[in-house]
Protein backbone atom coordinates (compact mmCIF):
# COMPACT_ATOMS: atom_id res chain seq x y z
CA UNK A 1 0.00 0.00 0.00
CA UNK A 2 1.38 3.39 -0.96
CA UNK A 3 1.40 6.37 1.34
CA UNK A 4 -1.30 8.03 -0.74
CA UNK A 5 -3.48 4.96 -0.47
CA UNK A 6 -2.96 4.99 3.26
CA UNK A 7 -4.05 8.60 3.44
CA UNK A 8 -7.23 7.62 1.66
CA UNK A 9 -7.78 4.77 4.10
CA UNK A 10 -6.96 6.94 7.06
CA UNK A 11 -9.67 9.28 5.89
CA UNK A 12 -12.19 6.49 6.43
CA UNK A 13 -11.52 6.61 10.11
CA UNK A 14 -12.29 10.28 10.44
CA UNK A 15 -10.01 12.78 12.08
CA UNK A 16 -10.73 11.83 15.66
CA UNK A 17 -9.82 8.16 15.61
CA UNK A 18 -6.39 6.65 15.57
CA UNK A 19 -5.23 3.10 15.08
CA UNK A 20 -1.93 2.24 16.61
CA UNK A 21 0.13 -0.83 17.30
CA UNK A 22 1.59 -2.12 20.53
CA UNK A 23 3.35 -5.45 20.74
CA UNK A 24 1.91 -6.55 17.41
CA UNK A 25 -1.61 -5.53 18.38
CA UNK A 26 -3.63 -2.83 16.70
CA UNK A 27 -5.28 -0.39 19.02
CA UNK A 28 -8.08 1.86 17.85
CA UNK A 29 -9.13 4.65 20.12
CA UNK A 30 -10.51 8.12 20.16
CA UNK A 31 -7.52 10.42 20.05
CA UNK A 32 -8.12 12.72 22.98
CA UNK A 33 -6.62 13.45 26.36
CA UNK A 34 -8.41 10.49 27.91
CA UNK A 35 -5.90 8.06 26.50
CA UNK A 36 -4.23 7.52 29.83
CA UNK A 37 -7.57 7.03 31.54
CA UNK A 38 -8.67 4.51 28.93
CA UNK A 39 -5.43 2.61 29.23
CA UNK A 40 -5.82 2.48 32.99
CA UNK A 41 -9.32 1.02 32.61
CA UNK A 42 -7.99 -1.88 30.55
CA UNK A 43 -5.78 -3.03 33.42
CA UNK A 44 -8.22 -2.39 36.26
CA UNK A 45 -9.75 -5.67 37.51
CA UNK A 46 -12.75 -3.73 38.80
CA UNK A 47 -13.37 -2.22 35.39
CA UNK A 48 -15.83 -3.69 32.92
CA UNK A 49 -13.92 -5.75 30.38
CA UNK A 50 -15.64 -7.64 27.61
CA UNK A 51 -14.76 -9.19 24.27
CA UNK A 52 -16.44 -8.73 20.90
CA UNK A 53 -15.92 -11.47 18.36
CA UNK A 54 -17.71 -11.57 15.02
CA UNK A 55 -18.43 -13.33 11.75
CA UNK A 56 -17.09 -16.80 12.50
CA UNK A 57 -19.07 -18.22 9.53
CA UNK A 58 -18.83 -21.79 10.85
CA UNK A 59 -19.46 -24.03 7.84
CA UNK A 60 -17.84 -21.73 5.27
CA UNK A 61 -15.52 -23.63 2.98
CA UNK A 62 -13.74 -21.67 0.30
CA UNK A 63 -10.29 -20.54 -0.76
CA UNK A 64 -10.57 -17.42 1.42
CA UNK A 65 -10.32 -19.67 4.50
CA UNK A 66 -10.23 -23.45 4.30
CA UNK A 67 -10.38 -23.84 8.10
CA UNK A 68 -12.82 -21.37 9.67
CA UNK A 69 -13.29 -23.76 12.59
CA UNK A 70 -9.57 -23.66 13.33
CA UNK A 71 -9.58 -19.87 13.07
CA UNK A 72 -12.50 -19.57 15.49
CA UNK A 73 -10.77 -21.99 17.87
CA UNK A 74 -7.76 -19.73 17.65
CA UNK A 75 -9.93 -16.73 18.54
CA UNK A 76 -11.37 -18.59 21.55
CA UNK A 77 -7.85 -19.50 22.67
CA UNK A 78 -7.00 -15.82 22.57
CA UNK A 79 -10.05 -14.97 24.65
CA UNK A 80 -9.00 -17.61 27.18
CA UNK A 81 -5.46 -16.29 27.42
CA UNK A 82 -6.06 -12.55 27.71
CA UNK A 83 -4.62 -12.47 31.22
CA UNK A 84 -8.01 -11.57 32.66
CA UNK A 85 -11.44 -13.15 32.54
CA UNK A 86 -13.77 -10.97 30.48
CA UNK A 87 -17.12 -10.12 32.08
CA UNK A 88 -18.83 -11.38 28.95
CA UNK A 89 -18.22 -12.28 25.33
CA UNK A 90 -20.46 -10.89 22.60
CA UNK A 91 -20.55 -12.53 19.17
CA UNK A 92 -22.04 -10.02 16.74
CA UNK A 93 -23.39 -12.46 14.20
CA UNK A 94 -22.78 -14.60 11.17
CA UNK A 95 -22.09 -17.28 13.74
CA UNK A 96 -22.76 -19.86 11.02
CA UNK A 97 -22.40 -19.69 7.27
CA UNK A 98 -25.64 -21.38 6.21
CA UNK A 99 -27.77 -21.72 9.36
CA UNK A 100 -27.77 -25.53 9.36
CA UNK A 101 -28.54 -27.37 12.64
CA UNK A 102 -25.03 -28.86 12.63
CA UNK A 103 -23.43 -25.42 12.22
CA UNK A 104 -25.50 -23.89 15.04
CA UNK A 105 -24.68 -26.87 17.23
CA UNK A 106 -20.98 -26.53 16.54
CA UNK A 107 -20.73 -22.78 17.09
CA UNK A 108 -22.74 -23.00 20.29
CA UNK A 109 -20.47 -25.71 21.65
CA UNK A 110 -17.39 -23.72 20.71
CA UNK A 111 -18.73 -20.53 22.31
CA UNK A 112 -19.46 -22.40 25.52
CA UNK A 113 -15.70 -22.96 25.97
CA UNK A 114 -15.08 -19.22 26.40
CA UNK A 115 -13.93 -18.60 29.97
CA UNK A 116 -16.36 -15.86 30.86
CA UNK A 117 -19.49 -15.37 32.91
CA UNK A 118 -21.80 -15.19 29.91
CA UNK A 119 -21.84 -15.38 26.13
CA UNK A 120 -24.22 -13.16 24.19
CA UNK A 121 -24.99 -13.24 20.48
CA UNK A 122 -26.93 -11.35 17.84
CA UNK A 123 -27.79 -12.92 14.47
CA UNK A 124 -26.26 -12.17 11.11
CA UNK A 125 -28.00 -12.72 7.78
CA UNK A 126 -26.05 -15.97 7.47
CA UNK A 127 -27.83 -17.15 10.62
CA UNK A 128 -31.22 -16.75 8.95
CA UNK A 129 -30.71 -18.57 5.66
CA UNK A 130 -33.93 -20.16 4.43
CA UNK A 131 -35.95 -19.88 7.63
CA UNK A 132 -36.05 -16.22 8.66
CA UNK A 133 -33.98 -16.97 11.76
CA UNK A 134 -36.15 -19.68 13.36
CA UNK A 135 -33.25 -22.10 13.90
CA UNK A 136 -31.17 -19.24 15.32
CA UNK A 137 -33.89 -18.28 17.77
CA UNK A 138 -34.33 -21.88 18.88
CA UNK A 139 -30.60 -22.08 19.59
CA UNK A 140 -29.91 -18.66 21.08
CA UNK A 141 -33.23 -16.90 21.61
CA UNK A 142 -33.85 -17.77 25.28
CA UNK A 143 -34.90 -14.77 27.37
CA UNK A 144 -34.96 -12.40 24.41
CA UNK A 145 -37.86 -10.26 23.22
CA UNK A 146 -39.54 -10.11 19.83
CA UNK A 147 -37.27 -11.61 17.19
CA UNK A 148 -34.31 -11.93 19.52
CA UNK A 149 -33.48 -8.44 20.79
CA UNK A 150 -32.66 -7.74 24.44
CA UNK A 151 -30.89 -5.47 26.88
CA UNK A 152 -28.85 -5.82 30.05
CA UNK A 153 -26.76 -3.78 32.47
CA UNK A 154 -23.43 -4.17 34.17
CA UNK A 155 -20.78 -1.88 35.68
CA UNK A 156 -23.06 1.10 35.23
CA UNK A 157 -23.29 0.59 31.46
CA UNK A 158 -26.53 -0.10 29.61
CA UNK A 159 -26.32 -2.61 26.74
CA UNK A 160 -28.76 -3.08 23.87
CA UNK A 161 -28.47 -6.06 21.52
CA UNK A 162 -30.42 -5.44 18.32
CA UNK A 163 -31.43 -7.67 15.42
CA UNK A 164 -31.27 -6.14 11.94
CA UNK A 165 -30.82 -9.24 9.80
CA UNK A 166 -34.02 -11.26 10.03
CA UNK A 167 -36.23 -9.17 7.76
CA UNK A 168 -33.63 -7.48 5.66
CA UNK A 169 -33.79 -6.78 1.99
CA UNK A 170 -30.80 -5.00 0.52
CA UNK A 171 -29.86 -3.33 3.80
CA UNK A 172 -30.31 -4.11 7.47
CA UNK A 173 -33.75 -3.54 8.96
CA UNK A 174 -34.92 -3.17 12.56
CA UNK A 175 -38.69 -2.92 12.13
CA UNK A 176 -41.27 -0.92 14.12
CA UNK A 177 -41.72 -3.53 16.85
CA UNK A 178 -38.02 -3.46 17.72
CA UNK A 179 -37.81 0.32 17.50
CA UNK A 180 -40.69 0.46 19.96
CA UNK A 181 -38.79 -1.91 22.27
CA UNK A 182 -35.76 0.40 22.16
CA UNK A 183 -37.93 3.44 22.96
CA UNK A 184 -39.41 1.76 26.04
CA UNK A 185 -36.08 0.26 27.08
CA UNK A 186 -34.20 3.55 26.96
CA UNK A 187 -36.95 5.50 28.73
CA UNK A 188 -35.65 4.37 32.12
CA UNK A 189 -31.96 5.00 31.36
CA UNK A 190 -30.36 8.19 32.66
CA UNK A 191 -28.64 10.42 30.10
CA UNK A 192 -25.24 10.13 31.79
CA UNK A 193 -25.32 6.30 31.61
CA UNK A 194 -22.95 5.03 28.92
CA UNK A 195 -24.91 3.07 26.32
CA UNK A 196 -23.47 0.31 24.14
CA UNK A 197 -25.49 -0.98 21.18
CA UNK A 198 -24.66 -4.26 19.43
CA UNK A 199 -25.93 -5.21 15.99
CA UNK A 200 -24.68 -7.33 13.11
CA UNK A 201 -25.10 -4.90 10.22
CA UNK A 202 -23.80 -1.38 10.92
CA UNK A 203 -26.34 1.12 12.20
CA UNK A 204 -24.52 3.84 10.26
CA UNK A 205 -24.28 4.15 6.48
CA UNK A 206 -20.86 2.56 6.04
CA UNK A 207 -21.44 1.66 2.38
CA UNK A 208 -25.11 1.47 1.38
CA UNK A 209 -24.22 0.34 -2.16
CA UNK A 210 -23.26 -3.01 -0.66
CA UNK A 211 -26.05 -3.03 1.89
CA UNK A 212 -23.68 -1.98 4.68
CA UNK A 213 -26.29 0.14 6.43
CA UNK A 214 -29.62 -0.23 8.23
CA UNK A 215 -32.53 1.42 6.46
CA UNK A 216 -34.50 2.44 9.56
CA UNK A 217 -31.61 2.96 12.01
CA UNK A 218 -32.05 6.73 12.17
CA UNK A 219 -35.12 6.27 14.39
CA UNK A 220 -32.92 4.53 16.96
CA UNK A 221 -30.04 6.95 16.47
CA UNK A 222 -32.42 9.80 17.28
CA UNK A 223 -33.28 8.14 20.61
CA UNK A 224 -29.59 7.76 21.44
CA UNK A 225 -28.79 11.45 20.98
CA UNK A 226 -29.71 12.41 24.55
CA UNK A 227 -27.02 10.18 26.10
CA UNK A 228 -23.60 11.59 26.78
CA UNK A 229 -21.72 8.52 25.51
CA UNK A 230 -22.97 5.94 23.01
CA UNK A 231 -20.85 3.19 21.45
CA UNK A 232 -22.26 1.09 18.60
CA UNK A 233 -20.40 -2.15 17.90
CA UNK A 234 -21.19 -4.16 14.77
CA UNK A 235 -19.88 -6.95 12.56
CA UNK A 236 -20.86 -7.94 9.00
CA UNK A 237 -18.23 -5.95 7.12
CA UNK A 238 -15.30 -8.16 8.17
CA UNK A 239 -12.94 -5.24 8.68
CA UNK A 240 -12.13 -2.55 11.21
CA UNK A 241 -13.77 0.78 10.69
CA UNK A 242 -14.62 3.61 13.05
CA UNK A 243 -16.79 6.66 12.68
CA UNK A 244 -17.91 9.30 15.17
CA UNK A 245 -21.12 11.30 14.81
CA UNK A 246 -21.47 13.66 17.77
CA UNK A 247 -22.08 11.64 20.93
CA UNK A 248 -22.16 8.33 19.05
CA UNK A 249 -19.12 6.35 17.93
CA UNK A 250 -19.52 3.36 15.60
CA UNK A 251 -16.94 0.60 15.49
CA UNK A 252 -17.11 -2.17 12.91
CA UNK A 253 -15.25 -5.31 13.99
CA UNK A 254 -13.17 -7.65 11.95
CA UNK A 255 -13.98 -11.33 11.48
CA UNK A 256 -12.49 -14.65 12.50
CA UNK A 257 -13.28 -16.18 9.08
CA UNK A 258 -12.25 -14.24 5.96
CA UNK A 259 -11.71 -10.61 4.96
CA UNK A 260 -13.99 -8.60 2.71
CA UNK A 261 -12.78 -5.78 0.47
CA UNK A 262 -12.74 -2.17 1.64
CA UNK A 263 -15.85 -0.28 0.48
CA UNK A 264 -15.77 0.24 -3.28
CA UNK A 265 -12.42 -1.49 -3.72
CA UNK A 266 -13.94 -4.48 -5.51
CA UNK A 267 -16.96 -5.04 -7.76
CA UNK A 268 -18.76 -6.77 -4.88
CA UNK A 269 -18.11 -7.64 -1.21
CA UNK A 270 -16.84 -11.13 -1.91
CA UNK A 271 -14.44 -13.18 0.26
CA UNK A 272 -10.87 -12.02 -0.28
CA UNK A 273 -8.19 -14.64 -0.79
CA UNK A 274 -4.94 -13.72 0.99
CA UNK A 275 -1.73 -15.62 1.63
CA UNK A 276 -2.00 -17.59 4.90
CA UNK A 277 0.09 -15.26 7.03
CA UNK A 278 -1.79 -12.20 5.77
CA UNK A 279 -5.11 -13.94 6.45
CA UNK A 280 -4.25 -14.29 10.15
CA UNK A 281 -3.35 -10.61 10.20
CA UNK A 282 -6.78 -9.69 8.90
CA UNK A 283 -8.63 -11.78 11.50
CA UNK A 284 -9.03 -10.76 15.10
CA UNK A 285 -10.94 -10.16 18.28
CA UNK A 286 -11.70 -6.91 20.13
CA UNK A 287 -11.48 -6.25 23.83
CA UNK A 288 -13.37 -3.34 25.35
CA UNK A 289 -12.74 -1.82 28.77
CA UNK A 290 -14.68 0.73 30.78
CA UNK A 291 -14.21 2.11 34.26
CA UNK A 292 -17.15 3.76 35.97
CA UNK A 293 -16.77 7.49 35.76
CA UNK A 294 -14.66 7.44 32.61
CA UNK A 295 -16.00 9.33 29.64
CA UNK A 296 -15.51 6.71 26.95
CA UNK A 297 -14.91 3.02 26.43
CA UNK A 298 -11.43 1.86 25.46
CA UNK A 299 -11.18 -0.50 22.52
CA UNK A 300 -8.27 -2.74 21.70
CA UNK A 301 -8.04 -4.80 18.53
CA UNK A 302 -6.01 -8.01 18.58
CA UNK A 303 -5.00 -9.81 15.44
CA UNK A 304 -5.00 -13.61 15.34
CA UNK A 305 -1.32 -13.76 14.46
Partner 1 sequence: MRSYARKTRSGAVALALAGAFGLLSACGGAGGGKAGGGLQAPPGGSLAGMPGATGSASPSMPGMDMPTPSGRAGGGTQAPPVAGNAVVIKGFAFAPAALTVKAGAKVTWTNKDSDAHTVTSQGSGGPLNSAAMNTGDTFSYTFAKPGTYRYLCTIHPFMTATVTVTP
The site for Fe ion (CB under 5 A) is made up of: 55, 94, 124-125, 236
Instruction: Kindly report the backbone phi and psi dihedral angles of residue 65, in degrees, each rounded to the nearest multiple of 5, phi listed first.
Output: -165, 110
Least distance from C-beta 178 to Fe ion, angstroms? 18
In the list Fe ion, partner 1, none, the entry touching 240 (Cβ below 5 to 8 angstroms by class) is: partner 1
Least distance from C-beta 226 to partner 1, angstroms? 19
Which residue number has the CB closest to Fe ion?
Answer: 94
User: Toward partner 1, which CB reaches closer, 234 or 254?
Assistant: 254
Rg (CA), the chain: 18
Q: How far is CA 78 from CA 90, 192, 301, in A?
A: 14, 33, 12
In the list partner 1, Fe ion, none, the entry touching 204 (Cβ below 5 to 8 angstroms by class) is: none
Instruction: Kindly report the backbone phi and psi dihedral angles of residue 216, in degrees, each rounded to the nearest multiple of 5, phi listed first.
Output: -115, 25
Least distance from C-beta 224 to partner 1, angstroms? 17
Least distance from C-beta 139 to partner 1, angstroms? 6
Q: Quick check: helix, strand or coil at residue 208? A: helix
User: Toward partner 1, which CB reaches closer, 87 or 246?
Assistant: 87
Give the whole-angstrom CA distance, residue 90 versus residue 233.
Answer: 10
User: Toward Fe ion, which CB reaches closer, 124 or 194?
Assistant: 124
In the list partner 1, Fe ion, none, the entry touching 202 (Cβ below 5 to 8 angstroms by class) is: none
User: Toward partner 1, which CB reaches closer, 282 or 296?
Assistant: 282
CA dihedral in degrees (209, 211, 216, 221; nearest 10)?
Answer: -90
User: Toward Fe ion, which CB reaches closer, 39 or 262?
Assistant: 262
The b/e string for 211-227 (b: 16+ C-beta within 10 A; e otherwise) is bbbbbbbeebbebbeeb
Give the whole-angstrom CA distance, residue 175 versus residue 194.
Answer: 24
User: Toward partner 1, which CB reaches closer, 83 or 246?
Assistant: 83
User: Toward Fe ion, which CB reaches closer, 27 or 197?
Assistant: 197
Least distance from C-beta 35 to partner 1, angstroms? 7
Least distance from C-beta 22 to partner 1, angstroms? 4
- One-character DSSP codes across 134-196: HHHHHHH-TT-BTTTBEEEEETTEEEEE---SSS-SSSB---HHHHHHHHHHHHTS-TTS-EE
Least distance from C-beta 36 to partner 1, angstroms? 7
Give the whole-angstrom CA distance, residue 198 versus residue 26.
Answer: 21
In the list partner 1, Fe ion, none, the entry touching 183 (Cβ below 5 to 8 angstroms by class) is: none
In the list Fe ion, partner 1, none, the entry touching 55 (Cβ below 5 to 8 angstroms by class) is: Fe ion
Q: Quick check: helix, strand or coil at residue 259? A: coil
In the list Fe ion, partner 1, none, the entry touching 150 (Cβ below 5 to 8 angstroms by class) is: partner 1
Amino acid sequence: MTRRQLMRHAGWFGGAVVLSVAGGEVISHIADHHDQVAAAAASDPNALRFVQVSDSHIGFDGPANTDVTGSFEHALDRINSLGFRPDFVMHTGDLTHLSTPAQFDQVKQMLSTARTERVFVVPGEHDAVGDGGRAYLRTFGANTSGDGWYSFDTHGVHFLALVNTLSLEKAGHLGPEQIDFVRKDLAAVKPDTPVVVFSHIPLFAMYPQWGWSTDDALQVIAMLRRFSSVTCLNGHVHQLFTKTEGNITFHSATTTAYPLPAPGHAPAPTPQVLPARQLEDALGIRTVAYREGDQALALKEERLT
